[in-house]
Chains A and B, each alone.
Chain A
Amino acid sequence: MSPHSTAAARLEVERIRRDFPILQSRVRGKPLVYLDNAATSQKPQVVIDALVYYYCTQNANVHRGVYYLSEAATRAYEGGRETVRRFLNAASTREIIFVRGATEGINLVAHGYGRRHLRAGDEIIITAMEHHSNIVPWQLLCEATGAKLRVIPINGDGEWIWEEAVKLFNPKTKFVAAVHISNSLGTINPIARLIRLAHEWQVPVLVDGAQAVPHQPVDVAALDCDFYTFSGHKAFGPTGIGVLYGKETLLEKMAPYQAGGDMIKSVTFAKTTYNDLPYRFEAGTPNIAGVVGLAKALEYLRNVGYDKIAAHEQELLDYATAALATLKPLRIIGTARTKASVVSFVLDGIHPHDVGTILDRDGIAIRTGHHCTQPVMEFFNVPATSRASFAFYNTTREIDALVEGLHKVIKIMAA
Chain B
Amino acid sequence: MDELRELYQQVILDHNKNPRNFGELANASHHAEGYNPLCGDRIHLFLRVADNIIQDIRFTGQGCAISKASASIMTSLVKGKSTTQAQELFDKFLQLITSDPTQPVEVSGLDRLVVFAGVREFPLRVKCASLAWHTLKSALSESGAVVTTE
Contacts and interface: CB of A to CB of B under 8 A. Distances in A.
Interface of A: 349-354, 357-358, 361, 368-370, 374, 377, 383-384, 412-413, 415
Interface string B15-32: 011000000000000000
A166 to B, nearest CB: 33
B86 interface: no
A413 B39 contact: no
A349 B10 CA distance: 16
A349 B65 CA distance: 10
Contacts of B3: 361
Nearest to B14: A415
A52 to B, nearest CB: 32
B1 A354 contact: no
A369 B13 contact: no
Contacts of B41: 351, 353, 383
B104 interface: no
B17 to A, nearest CB: 8
B4 A351 contact: no
Contact of B4 (A350, A353, A370, A412): A412
A70 to B, nearest CB: 42
A415 B10 contact: yes
A251 to B, nearest CB: 35
Interface range for B: 20 to 34
Nearest to B42: A383
Nearest to B65: A354
A357 B39 contact: no
Contacts of B4: 357-358, 361, 412
A351 B39 contact: yes
Interface stretch (B91-99, B109-117, B120-128, B133-141): B120-128
A361 B62 CA distance: 24
A413 B64 CA distance: 11
Nearest to A28: B3
B40 A357 contact: no
Contact of B128 (A350, A353, A374, A377): A353
Contacts of A415: 8, 10, 13
Contact of A413 (B8, B38, B122, B128): B8
B5 to A, nearest CB: 8
B148 to A, nearest CB: 13
A352 B7 CA distance: 16
A384 B40 CA distance: 6
Contacts of B63: 351, 383
Enumerate the 6 nearest inter-chain pairs by beta-carbon distance, A residue then B residue, closest first. Answer: A351-B64, A353-B64, A383-B40, A353-B39, A384-B40, A354-B65
Nearest to A374: B40
A369 B124 contact: no
B147 interface: no
B66 interface: yes
Contact of A361 (B1, B10, B64): B1
A413 B42 CA distance: 20
B141 to A, nearest CB: 26
B85 to A, nearest CB: 30
Contacts of A368: 39
Nearest to B17: A349
Given A353-B64, A357-B124, A361-B1, A412 B8 contact: yes
Contact of A369 (B5, B38, B68): B38
A413 B13 CA distance: 7
28 contacts: A349-B17, A351-B39, A351-B41, A351-B64, A353-B41, A353-B64, A353-B66, A353-B125, A354-B64, A357-B122, A357-B124, A358-B8, A361-B1, A369-B38, A369-B39, A370-B40, A374-B40, A377-B40, A383-B40, A383-B41, A383-B62, A384-B39, A412-B4, A412-B5, A413-B16, A413-B65, A415-B10, A415-B13
Interface in B72-95: none
B38 A351 contact: no
Nearest to B41: A383
Nearest to B16: A413
Contacts of A349: 17
Contacts of B38: 353, 369
Nearest to A362: B1
Q: Which of A353, A358, A383 has the most CB atoms of chain B within a 10 A radius of its CB?
A: A353
Contacts of B125: 353, 357
Interface in B41-77: 41-42, 62-66, 68
B72 to A, nearest CB: 14
Contacts of B40: 369-370, 374, 377, 383-384
Nearest to A384: B40
A285 B39 CA distance: 37
A352 B65 CA distance: 10
A383 B128 CA distance: 14
A17 B124 CA distance: 29
Contacts of B64: 351-354
